[in-house]
Amino acid sequence: MSSKVFATWVLLATSTMITLSNQSCISKWFDRDDPSGNGDYELLADLLNMYPGEICPNPIGIEAETISGQPASQTGNVFEVYNPTTGFSCVNANQGGGFCADYKVRFTCPEEWCSNCRTPWFDRDNPGGVGDYETLSLILVTYPLQACAQPIAIEVTTVSGTPVLPTGNSFQVYDPTQGFVCVNAQQKGGCQDYRVRFTCPTSFCLPKCVTRWFDSDDPNTNGGDSELLTALLSLYPGYICPNPLGIEAQTISGLPASQTGNVFEVFNPITGFSCVNANQGGGLCVDYKVRFTCPEEWCSKCRTPWFDRDNPGGVGDFETLSLTLIAYPLQVCAQPIAIEVTTVSGTPVLPGSNFQVYDPLQGFECVNAPQSGWNCQDYKVRYTCLPHFCNISVLTSLPLDVTNMTNQQV
């Protein structure tokens, strides 16, 4: 990054320079005020109160634009405050008879805050063709369950690791709620190859469980395949959390949605999934199934102990439900509604191509494949069950005399 670009990003109204660390992330845009009245006040203290957890308390940079996207430096307004420590304010009385524009601000946050809950790096596109499109909507499709639907910050680097900031560059999109887009036609010499990662609300990084697959629709009815969350919650009460953290879609034969060539109208855990036949350029949607990741609060309502009945020696690690029911009788329900998998040391493991089975109705299987350099770790699993299983478990665990007493009173 050139010193000119660096200075443009962190030069404050007071001419104070803030040192920018190698690792930093860019927040969302915030617009809590408008210039009616005394002016436009986007002060950090107010924003922290209004958007708790979405802004770092100690930003190292600030950027302001009008709500239409014009940089603050080009408006002709005079700013009373413009620094990351205090925030931003434009006072109408200081404008020589004019008025402040309506501004939005975003912040650069330090590594310590950015890394509280962060995704892996994603590089789903390359700059060939129109440009490099690392949009959030496409990342949610290509890397299911690995990114949150509502990130609070974004980082962008070249694939070689050079940080890239929004200021001083003509990027079409650089925003955690949308992702990143670089268009070749807007760059001298074209786009480089970029990668992105997101900072998510801390709830996304807490323990989570994976539901069953659901297939409530098919593409031959209603003009497409809709697996919308509201409909699924009505069809399968108690089987899906009302506030999923992630969503995954596959064809009913198991092909990832990202590999079908279909265009999706909806693909996020908040709304669900929808593929409309009319959007397929003359083709039709495939028949899809979806599953969700759910938060700890929902997963823990009726949950089994951890089970580790196998180890990865030999063929692999087989923590199947059928074998768990035999090895641990009465400790697990026969039809779980969700599953969690971690290594025995406690590292969470989400579904992926390395696992042959990852499903609450079947359990978990990891098969060693030495020929490709993949060997399983040692895993443990636990299940979320319907509430009645825990009610039965509590009753059967009562001392014999208490159970008999209960029976006599009935």
What does the pLDDT look like over 155-176, one tens digit per residue? 999 999 999 999 777 899 999 9
| pTM, 2 dp | 0.83
Rg from Cα positions in the chain? 26
Tokens matching residue 116: 């509280």
Q: Where are the alpha helices (DSSP H) in 192-285?
A: 229-235
In this prediction, residue 398 carries a pLDDT of: 44
| Interacting residues of 51 by C-beta distance below 8 A, sequence separation 6+ | 30
Integer Cα distance of 367 and 355 in angstroms: 7
Taking each continuous run of H as one helix and of E as one strand, the counts in the chain are 9, 22
In this prediction, residue 274 carries a pLDDT of: 98
Q: In whole angstroms, how far apart are CA 203 and each of 53, 59, 149, 268?
A: 11, 22, 12, 17
Confidence of residue 89 (pLDDT cuts 50, 70, 90): very high
List the one residue out of 192, 202, 88, 85 whose CA is nearest residue 153.
202
In this prediction, residue 393 carries a pLDDT of: 55
Integer Cα distance of 159 and 85 in angstroms: 32
In Å, how far from its chain's centre is CA 1? 28
Read off the DSSP letter of residue 96.
T
Largest CA distance in the chain: 88
Q: Is the per-residue pLDDT at 346 higher than 70? A: yes
Tokens 């079409």 locate to 172
Burial class (CB in 10 A: 0-12, 13-18, 19+), 359: buried
Question: Across the chain, what does the average pLDDT equal?
Answer: 89
Tokens matching residue 28: 């969302």
Integer Cα distance of 377 and 14 in angstroms: 55
In Å, how far from its chain's centre is CA 262? 22
Summarize pLDDT for 177-207 with one digit per residue, the tens.
999 999 999 988 899 999 999 999 999 999 9
